[in-house]
Structure 1
């Protein structure tokens, strides 16, 4: 019952912000958020702003019933969203992918992508530390202290990796939001982390129609926080061992994306191709 209400609240809050932003798309300042998508159509990245503002606002207003509180969610969403804004509005287009930005950093050039990567790591660590509770609850001595510190470090890496991974799916209309929905539903239905998953699910459902229509997209501003908050929902139910396994999966997928196009894999697999195209208007 509670999670259903949170989903509805997340959808309503995000839809309200999104409607407000769409009404102002003709104003001069919104031109900075306009891009051309893979099909050559003009789209706005303000959808990502709606996701961050709508979901964070909903989380804060409904946090009393969350148990663990909404602060880790807010840290992940606002932190990853702010870094996404930097990359969307001041992007270095001559470097692509995680390897490209880290390579530039190794050679002394700081790209916006490298700033985002390092910032996502910092955001993940802060969110994981907040999720673990006040400092006195994780401090200690010996093995216990090492496990607590390790849990925060791995949890932070999961949140940062999830933020980056979600962005890799934001290449076709509706894809990233569909992935977010598929991840959020089981998280919402299966215990710990259900509150942030429920709010995120509502946001995905509110934004999906326009995204599928190809008139807007999440951009880094929306895809990074989408992944980050789902990362928070994941670690809220996981032991240190489970976090390590999750980080291994995320790392493997991220490294694979440097060599293999997710879009090519999806389009060459009939079931995935049909699910990916579901809801999009025919070209």
Structure 2
């Protein structure tokens, strides 16, 4: 328990230090990262790079994680952040959602959203190849494990990004996995602790509506959670995670998560916790 808190604390410190440095020297200039939120107010997307850098650094420095898993986690986190940043900063195409991006690719149109899907899919597969297989069924088992694990990492990156529509929401969703950090004594639990720590360190900024994760931070956080899942669960557990991630992703194409949250009292209260009151 104490060890997990120390790991989470390191993640929080790393993310906040990255945030302070990026605030002082924003890559490409401050205006490049400015966006208008749901209130019509200007905020910055620099929280995303701060999370990505802080989480990657904290992962690299966390003891007790096998070298291959650590490398996989850093690759997935940085990959999610980099390809998310491309979509944040150079967005092309009007399609939204996974189905829209895949539709554009199928039609031969390579948009930034499509590039993000391909890029995060590729880095997810690299992470899957790096994580030691839990299968004992030879080459065919390894191929299946790689496909499932790559899909879990990429799918998790995409899913968490779907929640980044209101202040603090994506980070709160990530923090729901905090019990897994306590319950697991392996690499997966340590990676979850990094995600939760880096997210908690930036949550006050997010809730104050000074900044948001954007695709950069949400994709990075989701990819790191996905890597935690594939490093801590056996094949059956990974298939369950993939089914849940896939089911929620498909549901998001038909149902608005924001509307569901607004109609559900418990979810609505959690979503509003710490946020500024809604404008009248």
> TM-score range, shorter-chain basis?
over 0.9
| Alignment map for 1:150-229 (pairs within 5 Å) | 150-183=144-177, 185-191=178-184, 192=186, 193-229=188-224
- Report the counterpart of residue 47 of structure 1 in structure 2: 47
Q: TM-score, with normalisation over the residues of structure 2?
A: 0.93
After the TM superposition, list the runs of 4 or more consecutive aligned residues in structure 1 that deviate by more than 6 angstroms: none
* Distance (whole Å) between structure 2 residues aligned to residue 195 and residue 28 of structure 1: 33
Give the conservation status (yes or no) of the 8 Å contact 1:147–1:240: no
- Report the counterpart of residue 138 of structure 2 in structure 1: 144
User: How many pairs were matched up?
Assistant: 274
Check if 1:11 corresponds to 2:12: yes
* Distance (whole Å) between structure 1 residues aligned to residue 107 and residue 93 of structure 2: 17
- Report the counterpart of residue 233 of structure 1 in structure 2: 228
Q: Secondary structure at the match of 1:43?
A: strand
Q: Secondary structure at the match of 1:259?
A: coil
Shift of 1:244: 1.5
Give the conservation status (yes or no) of the 8 Å contact 1:187–1:234: no
Deviations 1:228-275 (A, max 9, x none): 000111111212122122111111100110110000000011111111
Give the conservation status (yes or no) of the 8 Å contact 1:158–1:231: yes
* Distance (whole Å) between structure 1 residues aligned to residue 54 and residue 104 of structure 2: 35
Shift of 1:278: 0.3
Give the conservation status (yes or no) of the 8 Å contact 2:93–2:111: no
| Alignment map for 1:1-283 (pairs within 5 Å) | 1-24=2-25, 29-62=29-62, 64-67=63-66, 69-132=69-132, 143-183=137-177, 185-191=178-184, 192=186, 193-283=188-278
Shift of 1:28: 6.9
Gaps of 5+ in 2: none
Q: Identify which range, 39-48 or 95-104, moves more after superposition.
A: 95-104
* Distance (whole Å) between structure 1 residues aligned to residue 172 and residue 36 of structure 2: 21
Give the conservation status (yes or no) of the 8 Å contact 2:163–2:169: yes
Shift of 1:57: 1.3
* Distance (whole Å) between structure 1 residues aligned to residue 93 and residue 106 of structure 2: 18
Q: Secondary structure at the match of 1:70?
A: helix
* Distance (whole Å) between structure 1 residues aligned to residue 251 and residue 66 of structure 2: 37
Deviations 1:93-152 (A, max 9, x none): 51111111111111111111111111111111111111127xxx98x9xx4221122111
